[in-house]
Structure 1
């Protein structure tokens, strides 16, 4: 019959979904490759030289990764043990942001052929700018001799971390805010130094992001401490 011969093409199976699926895969792959290419270009300093051991870029990525990971540890503990929705959200934001930034910095170190952790003393990149051929300013603060696990500005000691885990309720929330505020103060000091001394666009962009996000979080944490009748810890 004529009606059967003229049935719509939509009623007949065809390769269209397969073609569309293949096209999406190709677009995603091209986007991924382009993203990797642009990232590698962004990681090149203006001099086109790869950051060397002891440079501001390598030292910052190594030390800030360690610094961030302690913040992730504290934020994860707070998120899982607080009953305050405001604290739970803050802890989640800090944990997710700093975990992603650690991954980015470790990726840079792999591209640069540098180890994930520095072999020398922490913070040496803030006193000897070997990667750029000039002496840099000394750090304005330091942890108390690196004692009890606090090896960089603002970091909590092992004793302080143990105390954090022993608390609950309001005491937990207040102590977390105090430790994290001080931690951010040390971290932003390191980020500011790297931002002022790097020639690598990607490092400058990350340090600016850290300064912006942690600056806002510090303001929020001071407000939250005041609302709970508490004060920040001394710094440095």
Structure 2
């Protein structure tokens, strides 16, 4: 016997309010990007393998570390920015560069090399020592700058993020130019060229966003990386 209090299985239940999982979605996107980067780096077989002291190994190790800071800054801005365009750019940088880290780490594993360098950073570049500043690779933010990025809010936060990331990208482009000029592995050169194209597009976007936030006319071109002699 059924009672009036028994639930009708065909009666739709009230739907729960929709929830947004923005941070979780970004975390999942980063994981997916990392896995895709690993897969992309393993798809093309090689007849020769770069050695531990090769420019390819140096680039993969140092650019992975360089990218890791960009991912960190991107996630900070994604959580803290009040500007939708800045937040979108930040998450695009974080997910894109995490995928590239996965690709570069897969190269090292395929070459039978460890992820850590045996010598000083930037030793694979002819002017590597000259590009270092306070023990940091080109364009990298200092610990003090990262702390400021974590604690500032509003427009000041967005301006600081863009200024730091513009400097960071310019340093990365300088490293890419070096591997394109001196590298011998076609896959590494092709991937580095894609990195440069992506970062140059992001530089243009960041300079335009920065000009808007500062109330200045947007610049038509992104600044070019400085090359040390």
Question: Given the two structures, how large is their TM-score scaled by the length of structure 1?
Answer: 0.72
In the alignment, the residues of structure 1 paired with residue 164 and residue 215 of structure 2 have an alpha-carbon distance, to the nearest angstrom, of 12
8 A Cα contact 1:57 1:198, kept in partner:
yes
Q: Does 1:110 align with 2:99?
A: no
- The structure in which a higher percent of residues are helix is 1
Report which of the two structures shows the higher radius of gyration computed on alpha carbons.
1
In the alignment, the residues of structure 1 paired with residue 132 and residue 160 of structure 2 have an alpha-carbon distance, to the nearest angstrom, of 19
Paired position in structure 1 for 2:119: 120
For residues 158 and 36 of structure 1, do their structure 2 counterparts lie closer, same or farther at Cα, with a shift above 3 Å needed? closer
In the alignment, the residues of structure 2 paired with residue 53 and residue 144 of structure 1 have an alpha-carbon distance, to the nearest angstrom, of 25
Paired position in structure 2 for 1:61: 60
In the alignment, the residues of structure 1 paired with residue 41 and residue 96 of structure 2 have an alpha-carbon distance, to the nearest angstrom, of 24
Alignment of 1:6-155 (within 5 A): 39-41=43-45, 44=46, 48-127=47-126, 138-139=127-128, 142-146=131-135, 151-155=136-140
8 A Cα contact 1:141 1:153, kept in partner:
no
- Give the ranges of 4+ consecutive aligned residues of structure 1 lying more than 4 Å apart after TM superposition: 35-38, 230-233
8 A Cα contact 1:191 1:207, kept in partner:
yes
In the alignment, the residues of structure 2 paired with residue 36 and residue 163 of structure 1 have an alpha-carbon distance, to the nearest angstrom, of 36
Residue 203 of structure 1: SS of its match in structure 2?
helix
Q: CA deviation at 1:38?
A: 7.6
In the alignment, the residues of structure 2 paired with residue 156 and residue 37 of structure 1 have an alpha-carbon distance, to the nearest angstrom, of 28
Q: Which runs of 5+ in 2 are unaligned?
A: 1-38, 217-221
8 A Cα contact 2:57 2:108, kept in partner:
yes
Residue 80 of structure 1: SS of its match in structure 2?
helix
Q: Which runs of 5+ in 1 are unaligned?
A: 1-34, 128-137
Pairwise CA RMSD: 2.4
In the alignment, the residues of structure 2 paired with residue 171 and residue 179 of structure 1 have an alpha-carbon distance, to the nearest angstrom, of 12
Paired position in structure 1 for 2:189: 204
8 A Cα contact 1:87 1:173, kept in partner:
yes
In the alignment, the residues of structure 1 paired with residue 40 and residue 124 of structure 2 have an alpha-carbon distance, to the nearest angstrom, of 27
8 A Cα contact 1:156 1:179, kept in partner:
yes
Q: CA deviation at 1:89?
A: 0.6
Q: CA deviation at 1:164?
A: 0.6
Q: CA deviation at 1:40?
A: 3.5
In the alignment, the residues of structure 2 paired with residue 153 and residue 214 of structure 1 have an alpha-carbon distance, to the nearest angstrom, of 15
In the alignment, the residues of structure 1 paired with residue 92 and residue 79 of structure 2 have an alpha-carbon distance, to the nearest angstrom, of 13
Question: Given the two structures, how large is their TM-score scaled by the length of structure 2?
Answer: 0.74
For residues 170 and 40 of structure 1, do their structure 2 counterparts lie closer, same or farther at Cα, with a shift above 3 Å needed? same
Choose which of 134, 154, 173 in structure 1 pairs with 2:158: 173
